[in-house]
Structures are given as C-alpha cells and as structure tokens.
Amino acid sequence: MSLMPITAIILAGGQSSRMNRQNKGLQLLHGNPLYYHVINKIKPQVNHIVINCNQDIEQYQKSGYPVIVDELIGFLGPLAGIFSGLITSSTDWNLVVSCDTPFLPDDLVKRLQAHCDTHLAAYVFDGEKSHPTLMLIHRQLAPMIKHYLLQGKRKLLGFLQQIDAIQVDFSDKPDVFININTLEQLAYWNQKQCK
C-alpha cells in the first residue's frame, strides 16, 4: 500500500469502437471481466477505487466499488473520465488506469510516486511508447483539465505535455502494459496461460 492515500480511477467510459461496440471492460479474460483483472492488480497499491463508465453502469456496480459517469457530456475521451474522477476523489493523488490493461505491475504506484515531489502528473513509458492512461495525477489539475476540454481539445498526451508531466521509464517491464483493444487480442490472450 502507498505511503500517501491514493484513489484509483479505472477508465471504462469509452465507446469500445475497436471491440465492435461491446463494452471493453466487461469482456471476459480467463472467465473474469477485464476490469476485474485490473482491480486485482491495483487493489494492493491504493486506498480507494472508483470506476468511470458511461454505459452498462449496473454491471460495473456489481463490483462493489463506486461508479461515476462523465460530468461533461458527449464522450469527450479519457480526459473527461479523469476529470470526473478527480472532482469526486477524496485524495490528492490519484492513479489512473484503463480497464483494458490486465497485466499491470505490482510496483506501478511506487515507481510513479517517486516523481511526485517535482511533478503533478507522472505517466508510463514502456521503452517504445507512452501510456498516458496509466498515470499518477494530482487532483488540483482538475480545473485545468476542464478548461482544456471546454476549449475543444481532447488529446490526453497533449495535455500532459502542456503541464510538463513526467514520463516514467518502465522499459524493464514492457509486457505488463499490454492493452487488449480488439476481440482478436482478447481471443489470443484467452488462449494463453493466465499470468
């Protein structure tokens, strides 16, 4: 568990366009929904968990964790979910994770947290690409996110660059940040041994 209180915000509010509009977080991997695997990975690392979703709310409520919908209407992307999570959070620091990353590392929070003295947000870099939907972020950034969205901007990485967020190197663990974005990827991982 982290030394400072942290709320995890699981992003499950997308439209799942690459999953034939099937709710991504509810797709089964080895018999359990994808978001369930994410919860199991982050639960020991945080104090609270909330789930951001805009569809199939009752299904997510079965987890027993609070479910929040986007405050700003119109499916404005992950930043809208992050904003909604931050304004409802009871902790200054918040871990953002996407519902389609079931293999997250046990030291995700610890390694991101190491940069929180100097930055208001820290996100994952796996050695090849950035993962802006995997980050630790301070809730004082909520008004800036809202302003950014109301300007018509949507790009999460663009916002993080604008606020000088730090990219944290996880190149020693590239395989733990695999996203399951399509039904084909889901079938592949269902055939593999559970990690």
Q: State how far the Cα of 10 lies from the Cα of 133, in Å rounded to an integer.
A: 9
Using an 8 Å Cβ cutoff, are 121 and 167 in contact? no
| pLDDT per residue of the chain (195 residues) written in tens, 0 to 9 | 556 899 999 999 765 555 555 688 999 988 899 999 999 999 999 999 999 998 889 999 999 999 999 887 767 789 999 999 999 999 999 999 999 999 999 999 999 999 988 999 999 999 999 999 999 999 999 999 999 999 999 999 999 999 999 999 999 987 899 889 888 888 888 888 554
CATH of the domain at 108: 3.90.550.10
Could you give the CA distance from residue 168 to residue 3 in angstroms, rounded to a whole number? Answer: 19
Q: Which of 106, 96, 169 is nearest to 133 (CA)?
A: 96
Query: Within a domain: residue 67?
Result: yes
Task: Establish if 35 belongs to a structural domain.
Answer: yes
Q: Is residue 19 part of a domain?
A: yes
pLDDT of 23:
81
Task: Indicate the SS3 state at residue 116.
Answer: coil
| pLDDT confidence of residue 134 | 97
Q: Residue positions in the annotated binding site for Mg(2+)?
A: 100
Residues placed in the known binding site for GTP: 11-13, 24, 52, 70, 100
Q: Number of structural domains, the chain?
A: 1
Q: 101 near 177, Cβ under 8 Å?
A: yes
| Closest to 144 (Cα-Cα) out of 160, 122, 166, 132 | 160
- Residue reference for tokens 């978001």: 35
What pLDDT is recorded for position 172? 93
Q: What is the pLDDT of residue 135?
A: 97
The pTM for the full model equals: 0.92
Range of the domain at 81: 6-191
Please state the residue numbers annotated as binding site: 11-13, 24, 52, 70, 100
In a domain, 1, yes or no: no
Residue type present at position 111: R
